[in-house]
């Protein structure tokens, strides 16, 4: 059994979904592990992870819009307001989506559907560098 | 360490929750792995996975109703409308629930609570065949 | 490859977020496994798991408030009402958050962000003892 760890950093420039499928797949292919489990954790609670459709960009637009509507940037709704109007909605959106994704690797390929992409969902307005821990266990 | 992969296909006939606990447990018991991690991924973004109560069917009814209310099938709310009034709500419901579940296997049994079942949550109106990747790593 | 299983029990006293980060980290450090995958499953469907900010308690307050608003304790909204006004909202909140978390262990430490804590999210009003299955695979 082998294990390997890595951090992939994604620079974000405001709210929205950032596709990191290529970065992850290309790192997986470089490792000397053919089959195993890939665990991805985002080390933040104001940005999150999603597996979503990689075909029509309108899907990503509508997803962003839905989460903005359900957790609006309106300080009157929240107690935690010291970090800006986007911070508490960010924590809520993070709670509604994922902090981590666990994927399977078979013959050096991620098991994903044809239309599935891996997305970092940035919930803050300012620029950030987000750290995604990657860890494979397999052989 | 051993690994084994499988695809379980579930036929769906409209929106709702489909229990696949028996299919998964029966496949797990057939494998020559007593203890390990089971990773289940649904290879679609318009259907998703849930662990929910397996006792009162009213719970499943109310869950379906809740998600319909929060993400209504109303094209006026969305930009992505070309695949039908149920498609964009399906992507939203998928974002709010799970694309994958990771479970533990101990002595050939899934570690689940007494009242927990594994459900495929179909969000589309038409019939579909949904593919659930199953992958065990253990010994 | 080694595997180890444990159950951590958390006593809850009404709705809210209960931090169990210390219990989990302290158990992980006692095991003879330096690197691996930790899979945590809550064996209930009316309480759930979250990774959230461990700094400002107002964040936890606002998260609890948000989920109460989105899934109100109002029996008129639900079919499943026999177990009390808090039960069906509990199942919905559980569906919106997590039944399980998969984390990475590196050099006997959990890979978590500086501001991330592990929370049990209790959705029921009465006292409960909640069971969290812990399972490590690694070496």
Residues of A in contact with C114 (CB under 8 A): 43
Optimal mutation site among C1, C3, C66, interface B, most CBs of chain B within 10 A:
C3
Amino acid C52: pLDDT = 98
ipTM rounded to 2 decimals: 0.97
- A64 touching C (Cβ < 8 Å): no
Rounded to whole angstroms, the Cα distance separating C119 from C139 reads 26
- B74 touching A (Cβ < 8 Å): no
C44/B139 CB distance under 8 A: no
pLDDT band at B44 (very low <50, low <70, confident <90, very high): very high
Q: CA B33: distance to chain centroid?
A: 23
In A, residues 99-118, which contact C (CB 8 Å cutoff)?
Answer: 99-100, 102
Q: Report pTM.
A: 0.98
Residues of A in contact with B3 (CB under 8 A): 35-36, 138-139
Which residue of C lies nearest to A75 if distances are taken between CA atoms?
Answer: C62
Min Cα–Cα distance to chain B from A30, Å:
20
Residues B4-43: pLDDT tens digits?
A: 999 999 999 999 999 999 999 999 999 999 999 999 999 9
Phi and psi at B88, nearest 5°, equal -65, -45
How do the pLDDT tens digits run along chain A, 139 residues long?
Answer: 999 999 999 999 999 999 999 999 999 999 999 999 999 999 999 999 999 999 999 999 999 999 999 999 999 999 999 999 999 999 999 999 999 999 999 999 999 999 999 999 999 999 999 999 999 999 9
Helix (H, G, I), strand (E, B), or coil: what is residue A66?
helix
Amino acid C25: pLDDT = 98
Phi-psi region of C107 (alpha: psi -120 to 50; beta: other; left: phi over 0): left
C112 Cβ neighbours under 8 A, 6+ residues apart: A41, A43, C21, C51, C103, C118
- A6 touching C (Cβ < 8 Å): no
Residues C38-87: pLDDT tens digits?
A: 999 999 999 999 999 999 999 999 999 999 999 999 999 999 999 999 99
């Amino acid at each position: 059994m082998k294990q390997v760890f890595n951090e992939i950093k994604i620079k974000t420039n405001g709210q929205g979904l950032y596709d990191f499928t290529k970065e992850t797949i290309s790192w997986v292919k470089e490792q000397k592990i053919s089959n195993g489990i890939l665990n991805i954790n985002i080390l933040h609670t104001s940005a999150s992870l999603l597996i979503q459709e990689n075909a029509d960009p309108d899907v990503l637009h509508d997803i962003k819009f839905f989460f903005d509507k359900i957790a609006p940037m309106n300080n009157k709704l929240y107690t935690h307001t010291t970090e800006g109007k986007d911070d508490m909605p960010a924590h809520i959106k993070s709670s509604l989506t994922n902090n981590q994704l666990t994927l399977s690797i078979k013959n050096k390929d991620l098991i994903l559907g044809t239309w599935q992409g891996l997305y970092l969902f940035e919930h803050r307005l300012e620029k950030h560098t987000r750290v995604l821990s990657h860890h494979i266990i397999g052989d």
